[in-house]
Amino acid sequence: MSKRILVTGGSGFLGSHLCERLLAKGHEVLCVDNYFTGRRTNVAHLLSNSGFELLRHDVTFPLYAEVDEIYNLACPASPVHYQFDPVQTTKTSVHGAINMLGLAKRVQAKIFQASTSEVYGDPAVHPQTEDYWGRVNPIGPRSCYDEGKRCAETLFFDYRRQHGLRIKVARIFNTYGPRMHPNDGRVVSNFIVQALKGVPITLYGDGRQTRSFCFVDDLVEGFLRLMDTPDEVTGPVNLGNPYEFSILELAEKVLELTGSRSEIVYRPLPENDPIQRQPDISKAKDLLDWKPTVQLEEGLSRTIAYFEVVLRGKPGG
C-alpha cells in the first residue's frame, strides 16, 4: 500500500538514498532539508518523479504536513559539521525531535529516529549492545551531537510512554558510500579524497584505533525493515557492520584500490575520539533478519568511483 512519507534531512547522504528506496517501493516522499550539510544535487535526479516533493525547511521550527510515516534523519553527523555550530546541532537533535514527535502525535504517524552509536561515547564494553548505557563526556567538544542524540532518544520513548506513539529508534554505526560530503572530515571520505588528489593521507593517533563500516545500501535496508516491524518493536536497534578493522588497514585498502602513491602521515588523536567502535547486531539479526551484505572492497570501489566524478567537478550519482 502506498504511503505518504516525510524524510527530514532527506537531501543528505543517508536521506537521499532512503528517498530513492521509498520511491522505488511506490511511496510518495516529502523530502525536507535546510541544506546545512544536505545538497540539492543529491536528490536532483528525483525531482522528475511525480511522487517526490522537496521542501526547504529547518526542523527546529514546527512543520505541518499530512503524512503516514516520518523518518527523522535531520542533523549534521560529522564532527567538522556538528562542531561548526554546536548550539544549533543540539537544537536540531532536541527541538527537531520535539517538532517531529509533535507532528507524529497530531497525524498519528509512525516515526523513526536516526540515532547514533555516539550515544555509547568512548565505550567501556566491546562490542556495544543496546542495553549498554554508554560513557559520554557531557561537556566535551563532541557533546552537542552525542548528548543531543541521547536526549532525542529520551524524548522518543517518553512520547511513546505518555502518548502511545509508534516509534522506531536505530543506532547507526559508521556508514559510507556515494553522496558522502567530500569535506565532512569522516575517515572514509578523507582518505579517498586525499588518495585521489595525491596528497598525504592523514591518520589521527597511531592508526590502531578500530572502526566498523557499513555500506549505505545495507543501512537503508535496515531502516526499512525496522520501520516495518510490529508496533511493539521500538528499538533501539544497532545498525552497522560488526566486521572491525584498524584505521591504518582502511588507509592501506584505499591506497590499494585507488592506485595512489600518497604517503601516510600521523597527527594527534582528537579529544574524546573513541578508540573502539563495533556494533553487536544480534538484535537486528533476530528482529529484522538483517545483516550487512556489501563487503568493504566492493563498497569502497563504488564510493571511490563516486568521488572520482565529484572531483572532476560533476555532481555524481
How many other C-beta atoms can be found within 10 angstroms of the C-beta atom of residue 180? 24
64 among known catalytic residues: no
Record the cell numbers describing residue 301, joined without a space.
570501489
Residue linked to cell 518493536: 233
CA distances from 216 to 15, 44, 55, 173, 246 (A): 10, 19, 23, 11, 20
Give helix 296-311 / helix 247-258 axis angle, nearest 10°.
60
Beta-sheet strands, E only, within 35-109: 52-56, 69-72
Closest among 197, 191, 209, 210 to 264, alpha carbons compared: 191
Cα-based angle 265, 13, 169 (whole degrees, multiple of 5): 110
Residue linked to cell 568521488: 307
181 Cβ neighbours under 8 A, 6+ residues apart: 13, 37, 39, 78, 81, 189
Position 169, amino acid: V
Q: SS3 of 154, please?
A: helix
Catalytically annotated residue among 71, 82, 120, 145 = 145
Q: Do residues 114 and 73 touch, judged by C-beta distance below 8 A?
A: yes
Name the strand (E) or helix (H) holding 235. none
Name the strand (E) or helix (H) holding 52. strand 52-56
Record the cell numbers describing residue 237, joined without a space.
536497534
Q: Write out the catalytic residue numbers.
A: 145
